[in-house]
Amino acid sequence: MKKWSVLIILGCAQFVLVLDGTVMNVSISTVVADLDTTVTAMQAAITFYTLTMASMMLLGAKLGDVWGRRRAFVIGSWIYAAGSLITALSPNIVFLFLGWSIVEGLGAVLVIPAVAALIADNYTGPDRVKAYAAIGAISGAAVAAGPLIGGFLTTYASWRYVFAGEVVIMIVVVSFSRVVTDSTARQQVRIDALSVLLSASGLVLAVFGMLQSKTWGWIRPAASPEIGGVEITPLGVSLSAWLMIVGGFLLYGFVRRQAVLVRTGRPPLVQIEMFSIAALRSGLTVLGAQYAITAGLFFMVPVYLQMTLGLDALETGLKIFPLSVSLILFSVVGTRLSSIWSPRRIVLWGQGILVVSSLILLGSVDLELRSGLFGAGMFCAGAALGLLASQLGNVNMSAVSKTQTSEVGGLQGVFQNLGSSLGTALIGSVLIAALTTSFGAAVAASDLPADAQSTVAGLTQGGVAIVEANSVDTIAEQAGLTAAQGQTLTDIYTESQVSSLRTALFALTVIALVSLLFSRGVPAVSPRRRRTPTSS
């Protein structure tokens, strides 16, 4: 037990950090009501929690090398606890955004790379493989447990207790952090501020542009932002497109900057040449795709269950329960299989099952989602994500030397959280864009009078917001429509939400298919076969 005490401490911190990515999704409607905000604002908060981590993770990894990994772990844990406390006490969406999306995110950028590096410091050989697999399983368990914990506490107490509990856990983690060994010498290096600025601003602009595409449009301007009453549409193109283009150029500038630093003998923020390692490149890209799918699924399904079907937080968590169970179960199965199967074989099985689950979910969508097919699709999705979670951390860490584990830990954090940010932003944008298109077309084709259609068109000119389906008739009456017209509009809106969910699930299926192309570099030799030459 003493040997694994380090893993328990690090695993508790990892659990809390990953938990925050899914625990609030089932509480969206409750938080929207409590803080008098909107689903769109909550989508932004969820996205920016992971985006803050993605944009600053490389800096966090480098600070761990400079300060010492255990010290960075402790400082990050205290910052995270402070952010959780602000969130628990937040009176409005601004404080929630500050505490959760910003302060917690900044604490996490120190903790996540440190966890990966400290495992390498404290374990060797087969124990290190088991430790990385266990951390992957813990991450999977946190993803799975989030909806259940959030649903239970939101229904029977308050969503605020989730964050209050995180404060307590992080205090306990810090109290026992001395059992963790930090054997890697600190590096006396100067962190390049321009590299930090280029990477952070590039990622923020690119993902924020994607997030806002649901409101501003992808290319053609729609409800563009205004300054002084003047719409901001440079050259007649949506601001979202320009933000993504500028973000891409800044990231390109970051890559070029790293090459210049290496050429002039100065330490880069990240060793770009590590991406020439096939196993690491594949492991990171599959990891990013996995988290994009997870985040997209955990955003769209709870929104539909609560806003269309009117389920509460606990009922939503129970609807997702098959995924939660299978994710935990197959994280353990994947860990056991790693002793006889190669990582590539397990990853390919996981990716294949993920594609199948996406198709099952796509075929299960109906007005009530009562079909056993939906439960089967969620179970298969959890099985796939569990298999992937059990492998990718060890694939990435095993691809480099011990001295590079902190850097790779940072890169893992970047790809995890960038994937989550893109998943939430992209799937959210697809969901809302599909809802707007479907709703507009259905209203135009309905038997509503011309004046009623005109009223609805005026109300939804800037896009169709996600609201509770049972509130549409009230909104319609407030806009001057009759009760009968309000009921017709409610039926149209509900059907449009079903249609938009199908479209978003199809986008998820495409991502799952594309991710199959990324796994070619994952090691194709099982651990047992790798040991054979050295034992002979």
Residues 274-283 have pLDDT tens digits of 888 888 899 8
At position 236, the amino acid (one-letter code) is G
- Looking at the structure, tell me whether residues 308 and 346 fall in a common domain: yes
**Average pLDDT estimate for 288-315:** 80
Higher local confidence (pLDDT), 306 or 252:
252
Contacts of 490 (CB under 8 A, 6+ apart): 469, 470, 472, 473, 476
Domain identity same for 169 and 234: no
For residue 463, give the nearest of 435, 441, 485 by alpha carbon.
435
Strands (E), 302-357: none
Last residue of a domain, one of 180, 205, 231: 180
SS3 231: strand
Residue 185 lies in a domain: no
Same domain, 79 and 196: no
Is 534 inside any structural domain?
no
Contacts for 300 with CB less than 8 Å, ≥ 6 apart: 427, 428, 431, 501, 504, 505, 508
Query: Residue 367's pLDDT band (boundaries 50, 70, 90)?
Result: low
Q: Which of 240, 268, 296 is the last residue before a domain boundary?
A: 268
Owner of token pair 């299960």 = 364
Q: How many domains does the chain have?
A: 3
Q: 254 and 403: one domain?
A: no
pLDDT of residue 53: 80
Note down the domain range covering 252.
Answer: 192-268
Q: Point out which residues pair with 230 in neighbouring strands.
A: 227
The residue among 378, 363, 365, 358 whose CA lies nearest residue 304 is 365
* Claim to verify: residue 401 and residue 497 sit in the same structural domain: yes
116-125, 230-239, 513-522: the lowest-pLDDT one:
230-239
Residue 443: what residue type? V
Q: From CA 94, how far away is CA 107, in angstroms rounded?
A: 19
- List pLDDT tens digits, range 120-131: 788 877 787 778
Read off the DSSP letter of residue 185: P
User: Do the beta carbons of residue 510 and residue 362 sit within 8 Å?
Assistant: no
Average pLDDT over residues 216-220: 72
> What is the CB neighbour count within 10 angstroms for residue 193?
10
pTM of the model: 0.77
pLDDT tens-digit profile of 172-197?
A: 999 998 888 877 777 777 888 999 99
Q: Is 529 a domain residue?
A: no
| Alpha-carbon dihedral angle through residues 258, 261, 262, 267, given to the nearest 10 degrees | -100
Quick check: is 43 in a domain?
yes
